[in-house]
Amino acid sequence: MTDLFSPIKLGSIDLKNRIVMAPLTRNRAGEGGVPQSMNVTYYEQRATAGLIVTEATPISAMAHGSPALPGIYTDAQVAGWKKVTDAVHAQGGKIVIQLWHVGRISHPSLLPNNAQPVAPSAIKPAGQAFTYQGLQDYVVPRALVVDEIPTIIQDYVHATQCAIAAGFDGVEIHAANGYLLDQFLRDGSNHRTDQYGGSIENRSRFLLEVVQAVVRVIGADRVGVRLSPVNPFNDMKDSQPQVLFNAVAQSLNAFDLAYLHAVEGGIHGGGESDPFDFIAFRKLFKNAYMANLGYDKLRGNTAIASGHADVVAYGVPFIANPDLVARFAKDAPLNEADSTTFYGGSEKGYTDYPTL
């Protein structure tokens, strides 16, 4: 019987099991966005996962949206991440890096020369940015002009080249949760009238151009894409999410990607999510499907046995249980996560959770 403990190949990445560590922002990078020793320990502790997807990692200085994020665009960041990948590989694990541009979900104080955050359209999101000076209201972003889009695509290319140099097994393109690529996809945030706005084909264009560019660098068999069709987090909405994301899933088939990673609902307390048929959505994507949101061991095994999911991503359980795979195997009780230590801080609530 195929279950969470069965091996699988995602593209060219061999996994020893189907239990994936989901991307988890923890705000604990060192100076200059360089991963530090406690980051190495944190990932190394969780290397029994079939696959680790790193925390969302900015692709450029303009891609940041909160303090103490690790980047993947300088030589020092590459060297820091190389220590992480070496440690994970030494434990027999596999790790991909999630490539991130936050778009409008930022603040001038976090960006070079107090720059205005960029977005598809000059629409201010509701909510506040987490900055070095505390919470501050989001600002009206600057709408990108068409000529700037190739520069951001090149940032994704450069970040992918850096990921290869850092020893990652692949990359995941973050097109979910209200960040830049998602902002282009959904009509609540994209009011453009050029070739990147209006129709679903036009709103999908930026994502597909990024995917094409990244695939050229690293190969489709080492690329995943993350989508969140109905997550309202970061003030996101779309008038026809099922139609939009069904079309996106079908468009992604052209690339023969390693996997599609879907957030199956709303996360981070963004409010009520719209109804959405994830079973139908999944059936439209021909390659491996990573299901994410509220899965436990039983639901994960059921999703795999039914053919809905090929792998299942676990977030909070991996924060509190570095040995989650062993605990699932033995049906052992799980540690409770301390949510007060999720974002920023020290080793406390990061590397000090007990194993069995």
Nearest in space to 58 (alpha carbons), one of 223, 136, 174: 174
- Mapped onto helix, strand or coil, the DSSP state of residue 92 is coil
Find, among 90, 77, 75, the residue nearest to 41 by Cα: 90
Compute φ and ψ for 130, nearest 5 degrees: -85, 110
179 among known catalytic residues: yes
Are residues 95 and 169 in contact, defined by beta-carbon separation less than 8 angstroms? yes
Instruction: Give me the half-sphere count of Cα atoms (radius 13 Å) on the Cβ side of residue 87.
Output: 20
Structure tokens at 78: 């590459």
Q: Burial, 289: exposed, middle or buried (Cβ in 10 Å; 0-12, 13-18, 19+)?
A: buried
Burial class (CB in 10 A: 0-12, 13-18, 19+), 151: exposed
Q: Which of the residues 138, 179, 289, 314 is marked catalytic?
A: 179
Pairing of strands 134-137, 128-131: antiparallel
CB 327 within 8 A of CB 11: no
Token reading at 137: 């209201």
In angstroms, rounded to a whole number, what is the distance separating the alpha carbons of residues 294 and 265?
9
Q: Which residues, including other chains, have CB under 8 Å from residue 40's CB and lie 6 or more apart?
A: 83, 84, 87
Compute the distance between CA of residue 220 and CA of residue 270 in angstroms, rounded to an integer: 32
Question: Which DSSP category does 178 fall into?
Answer: T
Q: Tell me which DSSP letter residue 119 carries.
A: E
How many Cβ atoms are within 10 Å of 76's Cβ, its own excluded? 14
Catalytic annotation, residues: 179
